[in-house]
Amino acid sequence: MANYGKVLISTDNLGLVYKLGRGNGKRKSGQASTLTALHDVSISVNEGEFVSVVGPSGCGKSTLLYILAGLYRNTSGKAYIHGHEIAGPSLDRGIIMQAYALFPWRTVQKNVEFGLEVKGLKKKEREEVALEFIDLVGLRDFADRYPYELSGGMKQRIAIARALAYDPDVLLMDEPFAAVDEQTRTLLHEELLRIWEKTHKTIIFVTHSIDEAIFLSDRVVVMTSSPGMVKDEIRVELERPRTNEIKSTPLFGSYRNDIWRHLQSLTDSTREVTTMQGRHILGAVPQEAVI
């Protein structure tokens, strides 16, 4: 399979423990109430690689992404980019969220220019670069529209253009296509692969869809929940460029079974997570998460 450059982004026994509830983490019972969102997560992603992270809800896959983005703080272990510890957000990482997070008061063009403004580019240069990436996602005719005038799929393409425009080294994508319909999602998959092959960006893609993870990635990281840990990594050796037909090949099926088996062995703990979160809302101590 494809050979990639050196390690771009990595984590070393990364952990995040939340304190639950009010006060100093102590409850009436005297037990410390904490929730381990991530425990000893060590992953490593090479330059130009497309890696997906799958796992049940509550396995901390999004949390992991937000730590890499510099938006959350880990409580143990380390996260690195270019060999330096991640200290906060920066333009070398672009995040794309499920909720699009486009600025509603800015036109498509101005949304894509946002990161370039932060970067300090001149107006003319900003406009040129923004148009280039609006072009790349095929929405040139919509440059002057406001986000409310776009469909969900178009909004996510603009969010991708916005992240690409300021030229980050890695795209961090948090279930970006979870809110669009099946047909649009299929189109967006092919679109994303086309863009990835054109821009050679490193992509870390968080999803709960096994098919999506296999179809897009070079490697799939499977996570377990409570606590969120890496269960296994599966290398996807499907030929590129990939089209939708590849999903019906035997090889694709065997990857699907592989990951599914991993996740099935997790269903028990998944159930625990659900009940645990339910109890968390009620204010009880989540026993399973206490260390």
Partner 1 sequence: MEHTEKKQNTLLTIYQKSILIVVIIVLWIIVPLYTDNIYVPSLIEVLKEFGKLAATGELFKHIGASLKIAFIGLAISQAIAIPIGVLIGWFKKVDTYLSPLLVVMRNTSILAILPLFVLLLGIGEVSKIAIIVWGCVFPTLINTIQGVKTVDSNLIRSAQSMGISNTGLFFKVVIPASSPYILAGFRLSASIALIVLVGAEMVGAFYGIGFMIFNAQHAYMIPRMYVGILTLAILGVLVNLLSTKLENGVLRWQESNTNAV
Q: Does 253 bind partner 1 (CB under 8 A)?
A: no
Residue 205 pairs in a beta bridge with 52, 173
Cβ–Cβ under 8 Å, residues 28 and 91:
no
Among 48, 60, 70, 153, binds partner 1 (CB under 8 A): 70
Closest distance between partner 1 and the C-beta of residue 254, in Å?
Answer: 37
Dihedrals phi, psi of 5, to nearest 5 degrees: -70, -160
Q: Does 151 bind partner 1 (CB under 8 A)?
A: no
Q: Does 115 bind partner 1 (CB under 8 A)?
A: yes
Among 50, 133, 166, 215, binds partner 1 (CB under 8 A): 166
Among 5, 83, 89, 283, binds partner 1 (CB under 8 A): 89
What's the rounded Cα separation, in Å, for the pair 139 and 141?
Answer: 5
Amino acid letter, residue 266: L
Closest distance between partner 1 and the C-beta of residue 111, in Å?
Answer: 10
Distance from the Cα of residue 24 to its chain's centroid? 31
What's the rounded Cα separation, in Å, for the pair 273 and 143?
Answer: 43
Q: Does 177 bind partner 1 (CB under 8 A)?
A: no
Closest distance between partner 1 and the C-beta of residue 112, in Å?
Answer: 12
Among 146, 167, 169, 186, binds partner 1 (CB under 8 A): 146
Cβ–Cβ under 8 Å, residues 91 and 119:
yes
Q: Does 114 bind partner 1 (CB under 8 A)?
A: yes
Give the residues lining the site for partner 1 (CB under 8 A).
69-71, 88-91, 93-95, 97, 99, 101, 103-107, 114-115, 117-118, 146-148, 166
